[in-house]
Structures are given as C-alpha cells and as structure tokens.
Amino acid sequence: MQQIDAQNLKNRLSANESLNLLDVREEIEYHTYNIGGKNIPLSKLTNNLGSIGYNKTDEIIVICKAGLRSDTAQSILIQNGYQNVKNLTGGLLALQRLQA
C-alpha cells in the first residue's frame, strides 16, 4: 500500500499544492488541530463513502493522529475501488514534530 511521509506532505503543503486530505480522527480531535481536508471519522467511513467527494482515481491522503486509523481507512477505501490512496506514516504527530 502507498505511503507518504511527513516531510513529503509538509513540502507539498508548503508549496500550496491542492491536496485531497481525508482526516479520519473523531470530530473533537479534528476541531482541536487539523491541517484541512475532509473529516470523516473512521467509525463512520464505511457508511459515508458516498460523501467523500473525491473521484476513485484521485490521489487521496488519509491522515489521523499516529497513522493507525488512517492505515485502516486506506484499506477500506481500496476495497471500495479507490485507486490512489496514501497513508500519512506517523500521522499528524510526525508532521507536528517537523514543525516544532
């Protein structure tokens, strides 16, 4: 499965690249700290695939706090026909460490 590391994501965000981010943390976590993108908690993802709003061929970067929930979300998306899904390894914690 495809991965993206925190440094690569940071570079792409810094370049103001238009990214399809899917944050699968719970809403309270998302509202506490986020880098944008859509928030569909992992627990609701399977029932809300129709509301993702991305094409099945679009690059989608799935993010969570540490990279575990996003790994599961990546599998769910791939099983449902999404073809270019990347998991942020280390999650937002890894990204925050770069920004510290």
SS3 content of the chain, % helix, strand, coil (to 5): 45, 20, 35
Q: Are 40 and 69 in contact (CB under 8 A)?
A: no
pLDDT at position 1 over 90: no
Q: Are 30 and 19 in contact (CB under 8 A)?
A: no
In CATH terms, the fold of domain 2-99 is Oxidized Rhodanese; domain 1 (3.40.250)
**pLDDT exceeding 90 applies to what percent of the chain?**
96
Domain boundaries, the chain: 2-99
Non-local (6+) Cβ contacts of 50 within 8 A are: none
Confidence of residue 99 (pLDDT cuts 50, 70, 90): confident
Nearest-5° Cα angle at 35, 79 to 52: 30
Instruction: Identify each DSSP E strand in 46-91 by its residue range.
Output: 59-63, 84-88
Q: DSSP 3-state assignment of 13?
A: helix
pLDDT at position 41 over 80: yes
